[in-house]
Amino acid sequence: MIEKLQKRRSIRRYTEEAVPEEKLKTILRAGLLSPTSKNLHPWEFLVVRDKETLGKLTDCRDKGADMLKGAAAAVIVMADTEVNDVWIEDCSIAMSNMHLTAADQGVGSCWIQIRNRNSRKDGMTSEAFLKELFSLEEKYAVEAILSLGIPAQERPPLQLDERLWEKVHFETF
């Protein structure tokens, strides 16, 4: 598992190749298998593969979403806020599981934060932009988008910075 964590890197450049259907389903399966508080599963996943829509999605953030234009797919992770009060955590776990599974499948991915971010459109929040684009009901809150594609770049595995151990505390802070 540690080796898989080291190999998982954010990938922002993709080839023109589509993500094979079985790999996409495996990534989504990882999200669906994610643990949730009280086993309530408040999240919903909206998969986007249409190139024109992926291009429009680049405007969901004032910066940091341009990789969506070259992505083969994107998974918008949102939650029904009426189902569970810890939907942020539940969505984050699902995002993390899909992010790691994408790397394991040889698919590049990048987490694009939506909650508490702004779009390029007239000071509109990123979430409001997505709600308008996809006609999402008000009860849904969007946590993030996972861009997916076949990597056009290779990044070296992460190495654990030994100084990070200073952030680990035993028994007292």
Where exactly are the structural domains of the chain?
2-167
Q: For 73-88, what is the mean pLDDT?
A: 98
User: Residue 170: what pLDDT?
Assistant: 97
Q: How far is CA 164 from CA 7, 77, 159, 160, in A?
A: 18, 30, 11, 8
User: Residue 107: what pLDDT?
Assistant: 98
Q: Looking up tokens 């029904």, which residue turns up?
A: 80
DSSP, collapsed to helix, strand or coil, labels residue 143 as strand
Q: How far is CA 126 from CA 66, 71, 119, 134, in A?
A: 14, 19, 5, 12
User: Residue 123: what pLDDT?
Assistant: 87
Q: How far apart are alpha carbons 44 and 132 in whole angstroms? A: 17
Residue 4: how many CA atoms within 13 Å on its side-chain side?
A: 13
Q: How far apart are alpha carbons 117 and 119 in whole angstroms? A: 7
User: Across all residues in the chain, what is the average pLDDT?
Assistant: 97
User: Residue 61: what pLDDT?
Assistant: 98
Tokens coding 61:
């953030």
Q: How far apart are alpha carbons 10 and 155 in whole angstroms? A: 9
Which DSSP helix (H) or strand (E) runs through 48? strand 43-48
User: Residue 122: what pLDDT?
Assistant: 87
**Range 2-167: architecture per CATH:** 3-Layer(aba) Sandwich (3.40)
Give residue-wise pLDDT tens across range 6-33.
Answer: 999 999 999 999 999 999 999 999 999 9
Give residue-wise pLDDT tens across range 110-152.
Answer: 999 999 999 999 889 999 999 999 999 999 999 999 999 999 9
Q: For 37-49, what is the mean pLDDT?
A: 98
